[in-house]
Amino acid sequence: MSDALLRVQDLHTQFQTSRGLVRAVDGVTLEVRSGEIVGVVGESGCGKTMTALSILRLLPDPGRIVSGKIMFRDVDVTAMSQEEVQDFRGRDVAMIFQDPMTSLNPVTRVGNQIEEAMTAHNKFDVNAARVRVIDLLDRVSVPESKKRVRNYPHQFSGGMRQRAMIAMGIANEPALIIADEPTTALDVTVQAQIIELLKQLNREMGTAIMLITHNMALVASLCQRVVVMYAGRVVEEGPVEQIFTSPQHPYTWSLLRSVPRVDRERRDRLISIEGLPPDLARLPPGCKFHPRCPFAVQRCREEEPPLADVAPDQMARCWVLMRNVADDSEPMVRLRANAPGQGATGD
Amino acid sequence: MIPVIFFVVLITFVLMHLAPGSPWDKGGGRQLSQSVVRNLNIKYGLDKPVWQQFLLYVWNAAHFDFGLSYQYEGKTVASLILGGWPYTFTIGALAFCLVVPIGIGLGVLAALRQNTRIDYLTMTFATFGASFPNFVVGMLMIIVFGVVAYNVSGGNVSLPVTGFGLDDHLIMPVITLALLPTAYIARLTRASTLDTLRQEYVRTAWAKGLSERLVVLRHILRNSLIPVATALGPTFALLITGSVIVETVFAIPGIGRSFVTAVESRDYPMILGTTILFSVVIALANLVVDILYVFIDPRVRLD
Amino acid sequence: MASAVAVPSQLIDWEQPEQIGLWGDAWARFRRNRLAVIGLTIVVLLILDALLAPALVHFGLLIDPLTQDVTHIEVGPGRFGHLLGTDELGRDTLTRLMYGARISLSIGIFVQAIVLVIGGTIGLTAGYVGGRVDNLLMRFTDIWYAFPDLIFVLVLVSVFGPSLLSIFGAIGIVNWVSLARLVRGQVLAIKEKEYVEAARATGSRPLKIVLRHLVPNSLGPIIVTLTFGVPQAIFLEATLSFIGVGIQPPTPTWGQMVNDGYQAVFANPSSVVFPSLAIGLTMLAFTFIGDGLRDALDPRMRR
């Protein structure tokens, strides 16, 4: 088993706003191993993007990393100086953003923007740099790369722009690429191509990928492990097949159920999760999901469950665990017996 | 550009001819006799029908002949304009050289350090600069640096209050003229830079590991200064209107002041000629800015 | 049947209540802006002053602005019963300042009324009729915008003389452009909305509907634009008075007072300082109010 490349340990990121203290990331622990593809899923506002931005120390004002560690190999990113962070960004860990139209500088040539990513970390002579940029564009399958280098972003199509962003990301062959909803702003057909590209890069270059998305289908096609987040914390994690076939957390189960599937019986309505994501400045007591959880019991309202092992290699944060989700029938639920001060309550 | 100027000339010309009374009615002086008036009319071409006068005027104007001034016997408008030109140009050019770097500098600084004391200070300065009319500022400067300084220092230290000279005579007029445009550019630059800072590509630049210097220069400024460039046209207009007042306050014999005296004495050829000059200069400035814009913003290029 | 006609008007009425919340909300936000409140206080004081000044004179609390105290010419502030001194004809500065406020405020109000009428009409016509008329009007607007306001006002005043009417008219004529563009934009936006289509489909005249929606939706930005127009108008009038082609004496205006003080600036600088500060502070006050209104009514900030 390969070593952990990135280890986020009990990260707390907060925003002091006029509405109160927003706990965007509230005790997140996760890990990405070298060469691995990990998916981080959850609804908008669950803290997945803020976790990613915290890793690169790119939090917008007034965000602050309040406590916790982010270990990249043996170094704590939260303790790095400004220069060290600038070296770290783009060279060790690169990030790709959601909307390539607004993520690229509209008045600078694409080639220059890619070149910039390289020359920020290494010295290149002018020609070598140009050649490498063209090579990178080829690597991400941008056609007519020699011509395209001189183009401006508005002359690229959406898919090509995202490829250019990826080229910028791999320019320094980083050990990890964080991709924040890389396909959400693209057409469906193009989405598949970008996912293929990411798979290919992972195979050829051994780059680890942290894919942030709300789209479970993408996770299924690309990732090896998945981390499910809700209200700024991790609620379930484990290998993809395991999670998909037997999710233990009601939220994960609801997310999977809400994806319409062709191979199942058609229903009259789409299934969605009742209620709205919580206000991160006014979180409910106990389990943060309990107001929307179909299986919540009294304990869920009072005490927040810890993230605990529920199966080999799978962890979930829930008092009520689920069984029998192979088909759409209502799962049987079982209260967790191993919590202190609580006797086992039967199925 | 041409239609603008033509339109301006047309309107001004029509207005001149709507003016009641004839230019020979110099109030308070002796009335000229009928025959003299008739001869003057013929001499100045005022006896022809209006539309003919207009065409004649346009033709002459295209050859830089703006006719004779009514106030200064025998002098052509063109010569008066040429005479005043160097003074106006010097002050205007110097003011422009202050406006651009200081205005942009303050605006960028305020935006990058938003909500800090620097931001409040610079923006307060800009608000005041934009709210006190330039003759007020000029007056106050005269009082502080001319009168008060003189009194306090017993006649030793003070700035010259009137007249033109290539020395400290220039200090107060140039600063007074530059104040309003600087405030305007500073506010615009700040707003534009704040807007740019919110853009996603700035975050991409940081994510690539670029230094602050590179992010500010290549990504932030490169974008935020585009709207500021288009504002240079109106800045020119401000400098021209400003020069009218500044020259009056500081008694500088430039075109602005000639314009004011022309208005006071109803010297219509002079008014018309100067107005045309102003509109040509402004139209040219706007044209240059439009051309420049194509070079600055690649999104508008036709390819 | 009735329903076919009822549906559009139901849609329309349903939209209206939204606006009521906006004003209460906006006032709360405005109140929180300290500068805006200060500006408002100053303006309210000015209005009171303008309205009450003649009464104060009538009751002997204030010296008549036309009275010339020839024994006390150009005295400094606080002497001989003249709180702020006198001018070169012995007239009391304080009372002339207070009367000057009447002119400045009138300029602000009446000019903006003219601006509203001209700009509103042009904007409404251009937006509603569209097509070639719109193009023509917009070209016209662009040409008008490019020309410096002061110059044109001076030209107009030189033609029509410095009467109250011509000055008000001149300033109003040069300043309608921003309002016209604003109104046109609003009209275009409303035209796009479905209820206009629906109304047309049932045969009712869209103009009435457009007008009915124009007012609540654009009242906010129109008020902001007009508020910002006031300091511009005050500035132009003061400049005209300063040059000497503004409102003529004996009606006191602040610009005139600065000009008069200019002659005596070495002997009695305070005669320039007070009217200068009056002009500047008034312009600032309206600018602060304008900023406050704009932030308070910004739809982006609505919860």
Comparing CA positions, the residue from B244, B279, B238 lying closest to residue B259 is B244
Nearest CA-CA distance, residue A80 and chain B, Å? 13
Q: Give bridge partners of residue A94 from the DSSP assignment.
A: A177
Nearest CA-CA distance, residue C148 and chain B, Å? 6
Tokens, residue C110: 């009446």
Most B-contacting residue of A77, A86, A109, A178 (CB-CB within 10 A), to test interface: A86
Most B-contacting residue of A108, A136, A177 (CB-CB within 10 A), to test interface: A108
DSSP A1: -
Asked if A116 and B218 touch (Cβ cutoff 8 Å), the reply is yes
* ipTM of the complex, rounded to two decimals: 0.83
Reply yes or no on whether the pLDDT at B196 is more than 70: yes
Q: Do A107 and B299 touch (CB under 8 A)?
A: yes
Nearest CA-CA distance, residue A114 and chain B, Å? 9
Chain C residues with CB under 8 Å of a chain B CB are 143, 146-151, 154-161, 231, 235, 238-239, 242-245, 258, 261-262, 265-266, 269, 272-273, 276, 279-280, 283-284, 287
Average pLDDT over every residue of C44-53: 87
- pLDDT score recorded for residue C2: 32
A119 at interface of B, judged by CB pairs closer than 8 A:
no
Helix (H), strand (E) at residue B232: helix B232-249
- pLDDT score recorded for residue C12: 36
Strand, helix or coil at A30?
A: strand
Nearest CA-CA distance, residue B70 and chain C, Å? 14
Helix (H), strand (E) at residue A88: helix A82-91
pLDDT band at A113 (very low <50, low <70, confident <90, very high): very high
Average pLDDT over every residue of B188-201: 91
A77 at interface of B, judged by CB pairs closer than 8 A:
no
Reply yes or no on whether the pLDDT at C159 is more than 90: no
Q: Do C151 and B241 touch (CB under 8 A)?
A: yes
- Count CA atoms within 13 Å of residue A212 on its CB side: 21
188-227 of B, contacting A, C-beta below 8 A: 199-201, 203-211, 214, 218-219, 222-223, 226
Nearest CA-CA distance, residue B288 and chain A, Å? 20
Nearest CA-CA distance, residue C159 and chain B, Å? 5
- pLDDT score recorded for residue B155: 56
Strands A4-17 and A20-33: antiparallel
- What are the residues whose beta carbons fall under 8 Å from the beta carbon of B204, sequence distance 6 or more? A97, A103, A104, A105, A165, A168
pLDDT 10s digits, C79-134: 666 677 777 777 777 888 888 888 888 888 888 998 888 888 888 888 877 788 88
- pLDDT score recorded for residue C7: 37
- Collect all residues of chain A within an 8 Å Cβ-Cβ radius of residue B200: 97, 99, 102-103
Choose between C220 and B150: higher pLDDT.
C220
Nearest CA-CA distance, residue A125 and chain B, Å? 18
For B49-58, C98-107, C177-186, which range has the lowest pLDDT when averaged over its residues? B49-58
Reply yes or no on whether the pLDDT at A236 is more than 50: yes
Residue B79 CB: number of other CB atoms within 10 A? 14
pLDDT band at B234 (very low <50, low <70, confident <90, very high): confident
pLDDT band at A41 (very low <50, low <70, confident <90, very high): very high
Q: Do B200 and A87 touch (CB under 8 A)?
A: no
Q: Do C239 and B147 touch (CB under 8 A)?
A: no
Task: State phi, psi for A9 to the nearest 5 degrees.
Answer: -120, 110
Tokens, residue A11: 């990260």
- What are the residues whose beta carbons fall under 8 Å from the beta carbon of A76, sequence distance 6 or more? A69, A70
Q: How far apart, in whole angstroms, are the C-alpha atoms of residue C254 and residue C241? A: 8
Reply yes or no on whether the pLDDT at C17 is more than 50: no
Reply yes or no on whether the pLDDT at B210 is more than 60: yes
DSSP B68: B
Q: Could you identify the residue written with the tokens 């990113």?
A: A77
Scanning chain C, the segments in alpha helix (DSSP H) are: 2-15, 18-32, 34-58, 93-129, 131-146, 149-160, 164-174, 177-192, 194-201, 206-243, 254-263, 270-296
Count of pairs with CB atoms under 8 A, one residue in B, one in C: 117
Q: Do B223 and A165 touch (CB under 8 A)?
A: no
Q: How far apart, in whole angstroms, are the C-alpha atoms of residue C253 and residue C241? A: 7
- Collect all residues of chain C within an 8 Å Cβ-Cβ radius of residue B240: 148, 151
Average pLDDT over every residue of A87-115: 91
pLDDT 10s digits, B70-113: 666 667 778 888 888 888 888 899 999 999 999 999 999 999 88
Q: How far apart, in whole angstroms, are the C-alpha atoms of residue A270 and residue A258? A: 7
B112 at interface of A, judged by CB pairs closer than 8 A:
no
- pLDDT score recorded for residue A345: 39
Average pLDDT over every residue of A154-160: 89
Choose between B57 and A54: higher pLDDT.
A54
Asked if A5 and A267 touch (Cβ cutoff 8 Å), the reply is no
pLDDT 10s digits, B135-184: 888 888 887 877 777 776 665 555 666 666 667 778 888 999 999 999 99
pLDDT band at B68 (very low <50, low <70, confident <90, very high): low
Average pLDDT over every residue of A235-264: 84
pLDDT 10s digits, C67-88: 766 666 666 666 666 677 777 7
Reply yes or no on whether the pLDDT at A342 is more than 70: no
Most C-contacting residue of B131, B159, B180 (CB-CB within 10 A), to test interface: B131
- pLDDT score recorded for residue B208: 92
Count of pairs with CB atoms under 8 A, one residue in A, one in B: 77
- Count CA atoms within 13 Å of residue B266 on its CB side: 19
Listed in order, strand segments (DSSP E) in A139-246 are 176-180, 208-213, 225-230, 233-239
Q: Do A116 and B208 touch (CB under 8 A)?
A: yes
Q: Do A105 and B210 touch (CB under 8 A)?
A: no
- pLDDT score recorded for residue C4: 34
Average pLDDT over every residue of B192-198: 90
- Collect all residues of chain C within an 8 Å Cβ-Cβ radius of residue B3: 143
- Collect all residues of chain B within an 8 Å Cβ-Cβ radius of residue C242: 135, 245, 248
End-to-end, the C-alpha distance of chain B in Å comes to 25
Which chain B residue lies closest to A90 (C-alpha atoms)? Answer: B208
- pLDDT score recorded for residue B154: 60
- Collect all residues of chain B within an 8 Å Cβ-Cβ radius of residue A106: 201, 223, 298-299
pLDDT 10s digits, A159-217: 899 999 999 999 999 999 999 998 888 888 888 888 899 999 999 989 999 999 988 88
Q: Do B219 and A117 touch (CB under 8 A)?
A: no
- pLDDT score recorded for residue C79: 67
Q: Do A105 and B222 touch (CB under 8 A)?
A: yes
Most C-contacting residue of B136, B184, B240, B267 (CB-CB within 10 A), to test interface: B136
A217 at interface of B, judged by CB pairs closer than 8 A:
no
Comparing CA positions, the residue from A100, A168, A105 lying closest to residue B219 is A105
In one-letter notation, the amino acid at residue C24 is G
pLDDT band at C18 (very low <50, low <70, confident <90, very high): very low
- Residue A191 Cα distances to A153, A187, A228, B39, C40, angstroms: 19, 6, 22, 86, 56
Nearest CA-CA distance, residue A284 and chain B, Å? 32
Q: How far apart, in whole angstroms, are the C-alpha atoms of residue A117 and residue A108? A: 13
Strand, helix or coil at A334?
A: strand
Q: Do B211 and A86 touch (CB under 8 A)?
A: yes
Reply yes or no on whether the pLDDT at C1 is more than 50: no
The mean pLDDT of chain B is: 81
Q: How far apart, in whole angstroms, are the C-alpha atoms of residue B106 and residue C180? A: 32
Q: How far apart, in whole angstroms, are the C-alpha atoms of residue B241 and residue B282? A: 11
Q: How far apart, in whole angstroms, are the C-alpha atoms of residue C247 and residue C102? A: 12
Q: Do B210 and A91 touch (CB under 8 A)?
A: no
Nearest CA-CA distance, residue B220 and chain C, Å? 24
- Collect all residues of chain B within an 8 Å Cβ-Cβ radius of residue A102: 199-201
Q: Do B147 and C262 touch (CB under 8 A)?
A: no
DSSP B148-196: IHHHHTTTSS----SS--SSTTTHHHHHHHHHHHHHHHHHHHHHHHHHH
- pLDDT score recorded for residue A39: 94
